[in-house]
Structure 1
Amino acid sequence: MKRKGTKTAVLFLCCALLLTACGGGQSTGEEGGTYDANAKATITWLNILHTASPPTDTVLNKIEEKTNSDIQFSWIPDASKEERINTALASDSLADIVTLTILDNSSVRNALKSGMFWEVGPYLDEFPNLAKISEDTRKSASIGGKLYGIPFQKDLARNGVTIRKDWLDKLGLEPPKTTDDLMAIAKAFTEQDPDGNGVNDTTGFVDRNDLIYGAFKTLGSYFGVPNNWKVSEDGKLTPEFETQEYVDTMDFMKKLFDNGYINKDFAVTAKTDQQQKFAQGKAGIYVGALFDSKNLFNMAKGIQDDMELEIVNNITSTGNESDRAIWAANNGIGGLLSFPRSEVENEAELKRILKFINDLHDEDAFALMTYGVEGVHYTVDDTKAATITDTDLWQQEVQPFASSRPKEYGYTIHDADPLKKKADQLIKENAKYAVLNPAYSLESETFTTQGSELQKIITDATYKYILGESSLEEFKAALENWRNSGGNRMIEEYEAAYKEVNS
């Protein structure tokens, strides 16, 4: 942990980060130095910014006080994170802590495997909060069986259906339990004038150009599609798009499209436009993150003031509870907080930084990074329900820290908003039915170098089938092209890696 001079709370990267060093630990050897948990730490952090501007120092000062540290952030805008991280890795211009969220990026993956970052697995159990990280999470966040950072722990399965309850009530319909129910509701919302304006101007679903975080993958879970890969008892891997359940999901989406039960432009609609259409009353079914319901409701204020929303997470294609399933996004891993050996020079420095990350897992640190300072940004009642009191100030001083929380669940403090509260409950319930990606932590050189190119073959073929631009035979021909273009090699590599890990 190289000591830095003047504190700079916020820096933007222009090209590569140039962080100068002065001084160091008590020993230059990797195992040297003396770990002092009570010593104030000066920590640099190369982090991702998901908001328009960096935060002011109000919350930062409280975090520093809580963790006994001086934190110097260098912020990378989310829109340019891949280019900036690649540049920083190539030039070894990093920081004590580096936020890595694009773990499937070849440069990131190769840097982790190369030994550029500390392997932290052996140290976790020395710290009370880090010791609680489950074995499943550690395994999913590992590469080649080694953990090169503290995983961002996110809820396993956050998706479900948000639906206009006021429209259901008007048409005498119940919330859906099956995919057939969803289809019937989509038809009614399209054809029976649920908003009562006498104009044929609504659809059932509103979706966006995203087969993963849009409707398709969640609907796929309801039909029993595996999460990316299906593993047989003998260790053979089958890609999800070669299953009948995937075809069933495409057929469901195709029926929605053919009958006009979904926005015709969904394949080219951005997420912001999708949410705006829902908020404007253009559609009544939104499939995505369950906590989006709160945002959708707030966006509709002044436009659809009579809007009532229902959120649903218990849907199957069969109606049988035993078939309930929901895909787990990245197995609940949001990335890694990693520690470059070039900056964190010995074990003592590493342990002091791990102590800092451990402290960020505490309830009061979570509250600071989620809600801000009590009495300034929010109030809290006796049930620990928090209400933001100054939204503009919260957005400026608190919101930028939200994506830096190393863990996002399991705390007593919670949102007082009823929709967010219910969404949190349903997301917690989803964890019991979460389907993991069995290949998430496995190594495939083909996936690392050709993954995006190969996925495009499948994405294009899926959209063409749903939009009626190709037949099932043509879809299967695209799958064969995928196999011949590197898919077969990817399968072989994953099967070998799976066998090695599970032998």
Structure 2
Amino acid sequence: MKKRFKPSIAAIALLAALMAGCSNGSGQGEAEPNAPAQTDEARNAANSEEAGSSAKLSGEPVALSLFYYDKRFQITGDMPVFKKAAELTNVSVQNVAPPGGEDQQAYNLMLSSGELPDIIAYKTADLNTVALEGALHPLNELIESHAPNFNKFLEERPDIKKAITAADGNIYVVPFVQDGTGKEGWFIRKDWLDKLKLAEPKSVDDYYEALTAFKEKDPNGNGKKDEIPFFSRNPLIGVYALLPLWDSFHDFYLQDGAVHYGPYDPAYKDGMANIAKWYAEGLIDKEIFTRGNTARDVLFAGNSGGSVHDWFASTSNFNTTMSGSIPGFSLLPIAPPASSSGKVQEVTKRDTMNGSGWAISAEAKDAELVMKYLDFWWSAEGRTLFNFGVEDETYTMVDGKPVFKEEVLKQPSVVDYLISDYGAQLNIGAWQDFAYEEQWSNKIAIEGIKLYQDNGYINTEFQLPILSYTAEEQNRLKEILPPIQTYVSETSQKWVMGGEPVEASFNAFRARLKEMKMDELLSIYQAAYDRYKNG
């Protein structure tokens, strides 16, 4: 008889702390019961499946309970992608997550209820935490015996296998994995450069010269100095994007096998001092901390935004959307400007895993069937369904490859349309195909990604992989990391806005980080990375 998962006293205390002050206003209906175990006949039918085939996983229809919470897009069994999956596998899902509220609150309520669904989809780090308390079913043997597609993938990608292996040596989560490395890049108004007879900036000094010219020389031609040379739709992250121009970084990173924290490095002083200087000179949007997610739409539509560091696909699309209203509008990706020491590198990259996935709960009635269902999404048929939707509804096959229909490509947001109307591209344990994004990205975006990838600008060894931590390490991280992150964010914003001189206060800043257990934090990350590297 399976033991019902009960959160530990520490876990319950943590849940209470996280939920303090949250509203209880929304009622929660009864969840669908867990699916019954398979009959012997059904199990025999499922066991006849071979890797990559579309044989049904069960001889009779089975419904699995699922927790999947998203503020904008909730999984329902009626979504065409999941209906098609049920048709192919004889297995459907019934989402027990409540509508509304916050994701952490919904997740905590599910855990504290004492009744776990068959499948839990959430953040990998959180899932690995409760796994160590017995909430999840270890997947190692199930993957070898009942997941031929996912097992084959792990054999070909040992780096992924290492990354998803928890500190106790078990795998608990089937992750969301994505192709490609190109993510973000530098964009500049090429039409403004041409008007001012400026060459494409190749270095931080060139970039400074271009931004200064944008501010002073009226490239939009309206007779006002209303241009905003550099801006971002992400408040502090947008400012941090400039740090590599002075060989600095805002987060944890790797160098020669050692874990570092950018704000703790001496180079952070130089980076923040220069950013504060640029802000004071009007080269950085004065509203960068408040303008928000619509910054690109507002500033490009107003013909006032000059340069940005952002995603290739969505940023390149402004060349299309602005072409009718701003004659000659040309926003092109450029190589990363060389830093003050001459480095040409892009420190952002498309994460191999986005930190989400799904797992089998310890209370699943038939873990073997659930594993087979999770594995279906890694078959050729399941992967196409996840990425492109339903054949003849969202795509057709052309020369053996799925090609989106015009109805899909003309949507304002292809991704939102695929998710909301079909259930494709949700944050489940599946393998995202970069080909889906290529089809709705314009030529400029594809050329930008190619520019960065072909020239080796993307520093793929810079960012930390997803790491697993022991229970003790997780507890210390929860205690140490959040206060440090808050302190760094608040101090950095104060520096940028001129509230405090960087040079005069940086030593005290580093000393405060040390008092906040920065060295212990680095040792935890280093130990986790060493396990990953040597695993």
TM-score (norm 2): 0.75
Are 1:341 and 2:362 an aligned pair?
Answer: yes
Q: Name the structure 1 match of 2:34.
A: 21
The Cα of 1:474 is off from its aligned counterpart by 1.9
> In the alignment, is residue 110 of structure 1 matched against residue 115 of structure 2?
no
1: CA distance, partners of 2:492 / 2:324: 38
Taking the aligned partners of 2:199 and 2:90, their CA distance within structure 1 comes to 53
Shift of residue 208 of structure 1? 4.1
Alignment coverage as a number of residue pairs: 477
Q: Does 1:151 align with 2:175?
A: yes
**Alpha-carbon distance change, 257 to 320 in structure 1, aligned in 2, over 3 angstroms:** closer
Gaps of 5+ in 2: 1-25, 50-55
State the 1:459 CA deviation: 0.9
Q: Quick one: distance in 1 between partners of 2:99 and 2:201?
A: 39
- 1:137 partnered with 2:150: no
Mapped to 1, the partners of 2:148 and 2:250 lie a distance apart of 32
Q: Which residue of structure 2 lines up, in the alignment, with residue 229 of structure 1?
A: 252
2:121 match: secondary structure? strand
2:139 equivalent in structure 1: 120
2:208 paired residue number: 183
Task: Find 2:432's aligned residue among 378, 402, 408.
Answer: 408
Q: Indicate if the aligned counterparts of 2:301 and 2:322 stay in contact, CA closer than 8 A.
A: yes
Secondary structure of the residue aligned to 1:252 is helix
* Structure index of larger Rg: 2
Kept after mapping to 2: 8 A contact 1:15/1:87: no
CA distance in 2, matches of 1:426, 1:326: 15
- Would you say the 8 A contact 2:189–2:306 is kept in 1? yes
**Secondary structure, aligned partner of 1:404:** coil
Residue 281 of structure 1 aligns with which residue?
Answer: 303
RMSD of aligned C-alpha atoms? Answer: 3.9
User: What is the deviation of 1:223?
Assistant: 4.0
Give CA deviations for 1:410-464 in whole Å, capped at 9, x if unaligned.
5488315324433554575579532343474042332233422220011111111
1:387–1:415 contact (8 Å) kept in structure 2: no
**Aligned AA for 2:36?**
G
Unaligned ranges ≥5, structure 1? 1-12
- In 2, distance between residues paired with 1:156 and 1:467? 33
Aligned counterpart, 1:461? 491
CA deviation profile, 1:316-366 (whole Å, cap 9, x unmatched): 315857x534234666433222221212543x2243123223237755224
Aligned counterpart, 1:97? 119
Contact 2:85 2:382 in 1 (8 A): no
Work out whether residues 125 and 355 of structure 2, in 8 Å CA contact, stay in contact via their aligned partners in 1: no
Kindly indicate whether the alpha-carbon contact (under 8 Å) linking 2:187 and 2:333 is maintained by their aligned counterparts in 1.
Answer: yes
Alignment partners' CA distance in 2, 1:384 and 1:357: 16
Residue 57 to residue 109, structure 1, CA distance change in 2 (3 Å): closer
- 1:309 maps to 2:331: yes
Where 1:184 maps in the other structure, the secondary structure is helix
Cα shift at 1:66: 4.9
Bigger drift between 489-498 and 458-467 goes to 489-498
Q: Would you say the 8 A contact 1:215–1:287 is kept in 2? A: no
Aligned counterpart, 2:476: 446
CA deviation map 1:190-211 (0-9, x unaligned): 2221111112111111124543
**How many percent of aligned residue pairs carry the same amino acid?**
18
CA distance in 1, matches of 2:335, 2:71: 27
Deviates more, 1:354-363 or 1:334-343: 354-363
**CA contact 2:484–2:516 (8 Å) conserved in 1:** yes
Measure the CA separation in 1 of the matches of 2:386 and 2:457. Answer: 21
Residues 412 and 245 (structure 1), Cα distance of their counterparts in 2 relative to 1, 3 Å cut: same
- Change in 2 beyond 3 A, CA 1:130/1:454: same
Q: In the aligned structure 1, how far is the partner of 2:527 from the partner of 2:508?
A: 26
2:505 to 468, 474, 478: 474
Compute the displacement of 1:257 (Å): 0.3
